[in-house]
């Protein structure tokens, strides 16, 4: 299963209880979505092994989403991390990393592979044996993207049908390897006793207004992690800064038919956060608040 961990849930300014929004996915490695200040400490605190870091996906270059990168790279360096470490981000991320690494003491000994993704169209970033990650454009006050982690399609056995055709025990392994078997003179193909099952889908918006591109990207998603900087009473501020309200994020989740909405990047003016959750759940019941250390198994 995919393990999703909230490392930070606040908007730009950290507090004694919260740090700026960023998340980790543990699934065949560790994958970071944004990298707020103190990221490596949050990983240690919540059982996410930084030594298994496989890639970093930056949604945009506002400071609260990238300030953790220098410290994380230095910690990896001192721990003997071998790399290479892929870093993905919108246009400008290469220049950012070049400037960072121009400071000798910030330059890691291992290879860092920086890739800029298109800010105006879907871009496939990473493909593994388990899943792929692709980016899509969002609407924020700077160039920004969201990311979709989509698990590969799975082949599942129709056990009742397979057993009815004489497949049992080690024959399940054999037909998986050989793609077909002969039982009692009859050829049985793997496709005869299996079906395809769609993989899980997780969407990370980063900072954004509720927008059509996210609605399309998140269609049928198992989890949508969405910006929620404001509540509706402050909708004018959301429009001005190009962030979302709890209500607008929830309405989008409902239209997209997602299974779960996780609200993050929550403004510090809403403490306690009860009003944020109440507003979202009034529109989309399957809404939850992110908070540091919270985990979801997807």
Report whether 141 contacts 244 (CB < 8 A): no
Report whether 256 contacts 221 (CB < 8 A): yes
Identify the active-site residue in 34, 64, 207, 222: 64
Could you give the C-alpha distances from 296 to 104, 169, 225, in angstroms and in order?
A: 39, 33, 12
Phi, psi (rounded to 5 degrees) for 70: -60, -45
CA angle centred on 294, ends 293 and 298, rounded to 5°: 130
Cross-strand partners of 87: 56, 114
3-class secondary-structure state, position 100 = helix
Report whether 281 contacts 256 (CB < 8 A): no
Active site residue 109: no
Round to whole Å and give the CA distance between 137 and 59. 10
Round to whole Å and give the CA distance between 90 and 206. 12
Q: 187 exposed, middle or buried (CB, 10 Å; 0-12, 13-18, 19+)?
A: exposed
CB atoms within 10 A of CB 22: 31
Round to whole Å and give the CA distance between 286 and 297. 15
Q: 64 exposed, middle or buried (CB, 10 Å; 0-12, 13-18, 19+)?
A: buried
- Taking phi over 0 as left and psi of -120 to 50 as alpha, with beta for the rest, 95 belongs to alpha
Catalytic residue numbers read 64
């Amino acid at each position: 299963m995919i393990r999703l961990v909230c490392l930070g849930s606040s908007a730009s300014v950290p507090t004694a209880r919260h740090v700026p929004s960023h998340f980790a996915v543990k699934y065949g490695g560790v994958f970071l979505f944004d990298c707020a200040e103190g990221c490596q400490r949050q990983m240690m605190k919540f059982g996410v092994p930084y030594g298994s870091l496989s890639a970093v996906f930056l949604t945009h270059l506002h400071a609260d989403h990238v300030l953790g990168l220098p410290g994380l790279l230095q910690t990896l360096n001192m721990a003997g991390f071998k790399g290479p470490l892929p870093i993905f981000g919108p246009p400008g991320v290469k220049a950012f990393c070049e400037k960072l690494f121009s400071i000798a003491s910030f330059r890691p000994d291992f290879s860092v592979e920086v890739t800029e993704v298109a800010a105006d169209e879907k871009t496939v970033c990473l493909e593994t044996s388990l899943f792929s990650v692709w980016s899509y454009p969002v609407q924020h006050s700077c160039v920004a993207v969201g990311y979709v982690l989509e698990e590969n399609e799975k082949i599942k056995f129709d056990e009742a049908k397979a057993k009815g055709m004489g497949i049992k025990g080690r024959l399940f392994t054999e037909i998986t390897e050989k793609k077909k078997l002969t039982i009692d003179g009859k050829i049985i193909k793997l496709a005869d006793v299996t079906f395809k099952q769609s993989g899980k889908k997780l969407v990370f918006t980063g900072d954004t207004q509720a927008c059509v591109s996210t609605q399309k990207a998140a269609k049928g998603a198992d989890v949508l992690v969405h910006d929620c900087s404001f509540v509706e009473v402050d909708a004018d501020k959301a429009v001005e800064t190009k962030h979302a309200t709890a209500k607008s994020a929830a309405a989008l989740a409902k239209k997209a038919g997602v299974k779960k909405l996780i609200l993050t990047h929550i403004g510090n003016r809403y403490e306690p956060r009860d009003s944020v959750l109440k507003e979202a759940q009034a529109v989309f019941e399957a809404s939850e608040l992110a908070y540091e250390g919270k985990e979801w198994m997807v």
